A and B are shown apart, each in its own frame.
Chain A
Amino acid sequence: MDIVFLVLSIFTIISSIMVVGSKQLVHSAVYLAGALMGTAGLFLLLKAEFVAWAQVLVYVGAVVTLILFTIMLTRKGEEENGE
């Protein structure tokens, strides 16, 4: 139990750091999906199955897709910004 929790939490925190730290917007989005999945795993550990599946459906399924579309639509601006 503890090991699963430890792995999940480390995965989530690292993904979160990478969301902010990654230079590429698309990478950020993928890391965000990872962090959200990790949180969903933590929800499962907390025996909150419904919230976990809702999290996967809504966040990973919808919100991340939305983010990817936005990135795609504002591509030019992103490139211009450089870093």
Chain B
Amino acid sequence: MTDLFSYLIISAVIFTIGAYGIITQRSGIKILMSIELMLNSANLNLVAFSSFNGNASGQVFALFSIAIAAAEAAIGFAILVALFRARDTINLDNINILRW
């Protein structure tokens, strides 16, 4: 049986990949996918701790997080589609209405 530490390492690696994706990517879809990756790594963390500590609440938490991630993804992609209709692009560099 592998120990907790290796799971945490994998989780951290996936998280870092996701974070890197968010910062470097320009396409809205890619960024959302990276966010999914990060959420996923957090789930892995939760489940690993729950499994090694013999406490089910981590798994329950992970289920919550999955449900919420699904909802978030639905809204995020819907926004992207709407944005595409309005601006004809999903390149976030061109969408800077938050700018001063």
Interface residues of A (CB under 8 A from B): 1-2, 5, 9, 12-13, 16-17, 19-20, 25, 28-29, 32, 35-36, 39, 42-43, 45-48, 50-51, 54-55, 58-59, 62-63, 66-67, 69-71, 73-74, 76-78, 80-81
Contact = CB atoms under 8 A, between A and B. Distances in A.
Interface of B: 1-2, 6-7, 10, 13-14, 17-18, 20-21, 24-27, 29-30, 32-34, 36-37, 40, 43-44, 47-48, 50-51, 59, 62-63, 66-67, 69-70, 73-74, 77, 80-81, 84, 88-91
A32 B68 CA distance: 18
B58 to A, nearest CB: 9
Residues of B contacting A: mostly? helix
B77 A70 contact: yes
